[in-house]
RNA sequence: GGCGACGUGGCGAAGUGGCCUAACGCGGGGGUCUGCAAAACCCUUAUUCAUCGGUUCGAAUCCGAUCGUCGCCUCCA
């Protein structure tokens, strides 16, 4: 069994063969922290999270680096508009990003490098490109990458460099470039803008070079996987490849993985058009972060995902199905021998789950396997076919698969004492066959998000998964 | 205009040459269980895969045309 991943550059599904056996190095283009990220951004970050979780599930060591772009035009503009420093603005939205990411159950990357903390690495890279003749300085002290010096330019995006000469954008550009297609590596200082004094002169880094410098600093000149949204294919990733390989002479990345857009109302979710939804707003409106996570990861990463009002209730119901199984298994008690057919059944489900994810992270197949497992286990519970030990085994099994998906309720979240009291009183009322009181308490708990269910194993409760409203 | 992705049930979505009279989730209908519920389970809900034509013993899956949707070519996950 090998993991195969669809590489944008070669256009084919490539088997994952880590440059260092057993250790996968992954770089994800993270957010520019000039404002809160929207759920479309998080779709691509959660796709990377799913990848990381699966690689680790498969026993691979993973080093995951996600950059934080904390210096760029929008941050400068935003800070100026608010009258605060760029560090303050970037710091605020970095914290906001991490809080949203945590809410969605995103794995913390091993390294979260900030551009402003990598100025020496960036200027070293620019200096190398100048030395090698791939970059040039303009009158104001800015440095540009010379696309004409890199014949492979355009391969990733499948764009014809010659056709890009059209030049309608020439006058829109603020800098005097030799060629309109050339892109900025280093921007000369301007009044009111932050600037660093460096060996290549004063100024600030261009966007693309930041990612090349940070990825190579933390992962080496060649690494295994680079992820991002499709809208980064051109020019961002195209430029990264050109400048990185021109500087090192080595292949930059083994596999480029690009996540399709999240759509809302049939169109790409984008800050510029304003059709966005944000994590914190949805959560404040009562949406379960787990339901939101499910909605954002349940579709294959390379397929566009249309987000609608109906997405969340469906996702919440699916997540709740897993919760209900875990609750049933947790309360299950049966003094009988182990179910002899259980191990083989679980093995088959695991095999299907892995086969799906091995195939370029086909999460639909993996979820189908998970839910096949849910039904199978529910059947065995209904039939009282499991031993108490089997139920514990089944729980561990579901938890193991969920370590990849991250959608199930965390175990043993203690109930608030007041609610616990209601649960206890409800159990007592029911034991006394006081139906009126037990039903009243059940309704009250339900209104407060706690479902109480009576089973052969006794009364059990479960926190409901909400979808907002 | 150039390049690319895609169109499967009420909704979302797998499947890319025979195991497909089409997985899985949501939703709908009926039933079992239950003090009543809920959860769960069972049955049911596409003889059909945008349309038309072709290749093939055989196509949702390959080829062509048509219609439609979206993205990139500029900041963008």
Taking only the tens place, the pLDDT of each residue in A37-65 is 999 999 999 999 999 999 999 999 999 99
Asked if domains A4-279 and A309-405 share a fold, the reply is no
Residue A259, nucleotide of least CA–C1' distance: B77
Q: Is A398 within 7 A of strand B by CB distance?
A: no
Give the pLDDT confidence score for residue A166 in this predicted structure: 46
Q: Is A355 within 7 A of strand B by CB distance?
A: no
Nucleotides of B under 7 A from a protein CB: 2-6, 11-15, 23-27, 34-42, 69-77
- Closest residue to B34 measured CA to C1′: A454
Query: What is the CATH T-level fold of the domain A4-279, as seen in this structure?
Result: Rossmann fold (3.40.50)
Q: Is A384 within 7 A of strand B by CB distance?
A: no
- For residue A222, give every residue at least 6 positions away whose Cβ sits within 8 Å of its Cβ, in sequence order, or none: A19, A248, A250, A251, A252, A253, A254
Residue A40, beta-bridge partner list: none
Give the pLDDT confidence score for residue A313 in this predicted structure: 96
A410 CA – B36 C1', rounded, Å: 31
Q: Which of A256, A192, A197 is nearest to A226 (CA)?
A: A256
- Closest residue to B27 measured CA to C1′: A314
Q: How far apart are CA A194 and CA A258, in angstroms?
A: 32
Q: Which of A72, A175, A152, A160 is nearest to A116 (CA)?
A: A72
Q: Which of A282, A231, A202, A287 is nearest to A29 (CA)?
A: A231
Q: What is the ipTM of this complex?
A: 0.96
A465 CA – B28 C1', rounded, Å: 22
Mean pLDDT for A214-234 is: 97
Name the 3-class secondary structure at A9.
coil
Q: Which of residues 450-469 of A touch strand B (CB under 7 A)?
A: 451-455
Q: Taking the C-alpha atoms of A175, A179, A180 and A183 in order, what is their torsion angle to the nearest 10 degrees?
A: -70
Q: Is A146 within 7 A of strand B by CB distance?
A: no
Buried b (16+ CB within 10 A) or exposed e, A352-374: bbbebbbbbbbbebbbebbeebb
A212 CA – B4 C1', rounded, Å: 25
Cβ atoms of residues A382 and A334 within 8 Å = no
Burial-class residue A338 by CB neighbours within 10 Å (0-12, 13-18, 19+).
Answer: middle
- For residue A309, give every residue at least 6 positions away whose Cβ sits within 8 Å of its Cβ, in sequence order, or none: none
Q: How far apart are CA A467 and CA A469, in angstroms?
A: 7
Q: Which of residues 78-107 of A touch strand B (CB under 7 A)?
A: none
Tell me: the pLDDT tens digits for A335-363? 999 999 999 999 999 999 999 999 999 99
CATH number listed for the domain at residues A309-405: 1.20.120.640
Q: Is A372 within 7 A of strand B by CB distance?
A: yes
Weakest mean pLDDT among A5-9, A10-14, A248-252 = A10-14
A327 CA – B1 C1', rounded, Å: 59
Is 50 exceeded by the pLDDT of residue A26?
A: yes
Give the pLDDT confidence score for residue A175 in this predicted structure: 54
- Closest residue to B4 measured CA to C1′: A158
User: How far is the first Cα of chain A from the last one, in angstroms, to the nearest whole number?
Assistant: 44
Q: Is A164 within 7 A of strand B by CB distance?
A: yes
A194 CA – B67 C1', rounded, Å: 53
Tell me: the pLDDT tens digits for A154-174? 999 998 877 765 444 444 445
Average pLDDT score over chain A: 94
Q: Is A364 within 7 A of strand B by CB distance?
A: yes
Tell me: the pLDDT tens digits for A395-439? 999 999 999 999 999 976 688 999 999 999 999 999 999 999 999
Give the pLDDT confidence score for residue A167 in this predicted structure: 44
Q: Which of residues 104-133 of A touch strand B (CB under 7 A)?
A: none
Domain ranges within chain A, ordered by starting residue: 4-279, 309-405, 417-463
């Amino acid at each position: 069994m090998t993991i195969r991943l669809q590489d944008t550059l070669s256009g084919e599904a490539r088997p994952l063969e880590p440059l260092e056996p057993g250790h996968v190095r992954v770089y994800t283009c993270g957010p520019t922290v000039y404002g809160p990220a929207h759920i479309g951004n998080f779709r691509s970050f959660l796709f990377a999270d799913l990848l990381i979780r699966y690689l680790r599930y498969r026993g691979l060591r993973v080093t995951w680096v996600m950059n934080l772009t904390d210096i760029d035009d929008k941050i400068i503009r935003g800070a100026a508009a608010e009258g605060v420093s760029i560090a303050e603005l970037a710091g605020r939205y970095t914290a906001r990003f991490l809080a949203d990411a945590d809410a969605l159950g995103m794995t913390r990357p091993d390294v979260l490098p900030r551009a402003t903390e990598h100025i020496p690495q960036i200027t070293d890279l620019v200096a190398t490109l100048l030395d090698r003749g791939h970059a040039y300085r303009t009158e104001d002290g800015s440095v540009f990458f010379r696309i004409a010096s890199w014949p492979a330019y355009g391969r990733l995006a499948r764009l014809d460099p010659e056709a890009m000469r059209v030049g309608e954008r020439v006058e829109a550009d603020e800098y005097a470039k030799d060629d309109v297609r050339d892109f900025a590596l280093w921007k000369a200082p301007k009044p009111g803008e932050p600037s660093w004094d460096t060996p290549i002169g004063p100024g600030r880094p261009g966007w693309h070079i930041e990612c090349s410098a940070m990825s190579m600093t933390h992962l080496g000149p060649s690494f295994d996987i680079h992820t991002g949204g499709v809208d980064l294919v051109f020019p961002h990733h195209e430029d990264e490849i050109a400048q990185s390989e021109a500087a090192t002479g080595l292949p930059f990345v083994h596999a480029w993985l690009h996540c399709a857009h999240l759509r809302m109302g049939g169109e790409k979710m984008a800050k510029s058009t304003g059709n966005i939804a944000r994590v914190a707003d949805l959560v404040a409106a009562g949406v379960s972060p787990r339901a939101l996570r499910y909605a954002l990861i349940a579709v294959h990463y390379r397929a566009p995902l249309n987000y609608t009002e109906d997405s969340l209730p469906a996702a919440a119901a699916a997540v709740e199905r897993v919760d209900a199984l875990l609750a049933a298994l947790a309360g299950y008690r049966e003094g009988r021998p182990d179910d002899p057919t259980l191990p083989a059944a679980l093995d088959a489900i695991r095999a299907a789950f892995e086969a799906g994810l091995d195939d370029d992270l086909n999460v639909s197949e993996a979820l189908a396997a998970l839910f096949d497992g849910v039904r199978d286990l529910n059947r065995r519970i209904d039939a009282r076919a499991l031993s108490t030990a089997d139920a514990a085994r089944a729980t561990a099994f579901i938890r193991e698969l969920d370590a990849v998906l991250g959608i199930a309720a965390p175990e043993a979240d203690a109930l608030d004492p007041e609610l616990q009291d209601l649960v206890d009183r409800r159990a007592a009322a029911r034991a006394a066959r006081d139906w009126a009181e037990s039903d009243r308490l059940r309704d009250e708990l339900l209104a407060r998000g706690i479902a109480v269910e009576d089973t052969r194993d006794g009364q059990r409760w479960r926190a409901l998964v909400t979808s907002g409203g």
